[in-house]
Structures are given as C-alpha cells and as structure tokens.
Amino acid sequence: MRKRASDSASEAVEAEANGDRQFVTALHRGLDILRAFTPNDKAGLGNRELAERTGLPNSTVSRLTYTLLKLGYLVYDEGTGRYRMGIPVLGLGYACLGGMKVRETAQVYMQQLADECGDGVLVALGGRDDMTMTYIACARASKGMISLQLNVGSRISLARSAMGRAYIVGCTEAEREQIMERIRERYPDDYTRLEDEIADAAEQIRTKGFYSSIGKWQTDVHAVSVPYRAPQGDAPMLAFNLGGPAYILPPERLEEELGPKLVQLVNMVSRNGY
C-alpha cells in the first residue's frame, strides 16, 4: 500500500468517519487533490505526483482530476500533462478570508507594529490546516527591503514553527492530544525533542504571554508568537507571529521589546471583539 507522502488528514478523518453514513468520502478525496498543491508547484502537478502526495490510487486520482477539470477547479496543460489550480479555487479562498472579521481588524495593528519594528520583520496571523499553519494575513514595514518570503496562503510546519507551537498551546485539550499523536506518528525519531520544545512553549506563554523561538524553525530565523482565540466561542483558533532574520532579531530584542508588543497587539484585537 502506498504511504501517504504528505501525511494529510485523510487517514485520520476516514478513521473518524468509519460508519458515518453522512460522510462523503468522494468529496473528501477531491478536496485532498486540491490540498496537494502548494505555491511552489508553479509547473503544476501530474496525476502520478498527485497520487504520491495524497496516497490515493492512480485510477482514483485520474477520475478526480477529470471531474475537477470539468468544473474549472483545475486547469490542464496539454504540453506538460500537468494540472494547475483554476480561478474558482481562488474564489473559495477569498470567500474564506472575507468571512474572517478578525483579519480586517488585525491588519491595521499588524501594519503599525511592522512599521515600528522596521526592515526585516514580518508580522503574520495564521490558522491550522492539518499539520501546517496557513497565513491569512501578513504585514511588513512600509519601507522595508528585507523580510521572510512568506505571504497570505503560505504554509509552515505546525510542530516546528513558533506560530504552530503557539497554536498548539492555545487549542483545546482534545485537539492538542490529537495533534501530539499526529506529531508522534510523523516524527517518531524527533518526537521526544519536539514534545519538550512544545512544553517549553506552553511554559513561556503561561509566564510571559508569548513564545520565543530562537532558531527552532530555521537556524537563521527568530520569532515570537502568541495564541489567539476570539471572544466569540464559534471563531477558529488562530496565532499571531512576529519573525525575521536572526541578525535583525536577537533574543534580547525579542524578549524585552517585540514579545511584549505582540502581546499588546493581540490584546487590542481582542478588545475590539474579534
């Protein structure tokens, strides 16, 4: 049996949905095809690559890509035999962003903080997408020239990034247990270290209000992050992050200046009721 290369949510969801007559497996698999694409796939993906990333049989992938092509969600390049995402997918993304009032409120404060911090700093807001965090808002210094090359839609590791760890700390106990089990399955050799680092993130957030990640995601990148749950109980769990090159963000600056400022930003967004 083919190993699911992307370790998507399919196996977990199918296990949960076993025996659930309301669960439409075909729809789930079709969405898995769309989730397999990343911003780095500029040349597109062929059926074989999609099968490797999703773990689905080649015949199933062929039927799904054919259907998505007919609906416009995929575009086919006859010259390369590869698929790219179609315009309707973009419409779904903007419909999602448009429904997040917190994004509009936070963007103003995020831009103010990015301008205060200066060149090289990226302030971001993200939410969970399976085992990654997806950026839903970003801000850079207006006159900045250098910053992390991440934008709305970028995905980073849930287990290894500052934003992801802040999310894990802030989510419900049930979700946190599920995430940690997935981390154990995905990173068996690194699990003990990752578990300790996530526990450290929890302690930092408990005592300081923010988590400082010094070269944990990438050795040359430092960041601080804060979990955020809107006052409305039905709003999704999110996390704010402030990061940049290590030479611009030394640990002392993160601890003494930028971590507290990010906490202040989160409190301002919360006071606005989003």
- Rounded CA-CA distance 100/179 in Å is 24
What confidence score (pLDDT) does residue 65 get? 94
Same fold, 10-91 and 99-271: no
Q: How far apart are CA 150 and CA 161, in angstroms?
A: 13
Instruction: Please report which confidence band the pLDDT of residue 16 belongs to, taking 50, 70 and 90 as the band edges.
Output: low
Q: What distance in Å separates the CA atoms of residue 124 and residue 240, rounded to the nearest whole number?
A: 6
Residue bearing the bigger pLDDT, 104 or 19:
104
The CATH number for 10-91, chosen from 3.90.1150.10, 1.10.10.10, 3.40.50.300, 3.40.50.2000, is 1.10.10.10
Q: pLDDT of 155-198, one tens digit each?
A: 889 999 999 999 999 999 999 999 999 999 999 999 999 999 99
Amino acid 10: pLDDT: 45
Domain ranges in the chain are 10-91, 99-271
Q: Is the pLDDT of residue 211 over 50?
A: yes
CA angle 170, 175, 179 (to 5 degrees): 95
The predicted pLDDT at position 14 comes to 54
| pLDDT reading at 90 higher than 80 | no
Return d(Cα 240, Cα 210) in angstroms, integer.
10
| pLDDT tens for each residue of 122-152 | 999 999 988 889 898 999 887 655 556 678 8
pTM: predicted TM-score of the whole model, two decimal places: 0.76
Instruction: Round to whole Å and give the CA distance between 241 and 125.
Output: 6
Q: What is the per-residue pLDDT for 241?
A: 96
Question: Is residue 109 a contact partner of residue 268, using CB atoms and an 8 Å limit?
Answer: yes
Say if residues 140 and 122 touch (Cβ distance below 8 Å).
Answer: yes
Q: How confident is the model at residue 5 (pLDDT cuts 50, 70, 90)?
A: very low
What average pLDDT is seen over the chain? 85
User: How many angstroms separate the Cα of 59 from the Cα of each of 33, 50, 55, 56, 136?
Assistant: 13, 11, 12, 8, 34
Quickly state the pLDDT bin for 97 (edges 50, 70, 90): low
For residue 21, count CB atoms less than 10 angstroms from its CB and return exposed for 0-12, middle for 13-18, buried for 19 or more.
exposed
Which superfamily does CATH assign the domain made up of 99-271 to?
GAF domain (3.30.450.40)
What confidence score (pLDDT) does residue 236 get? 81
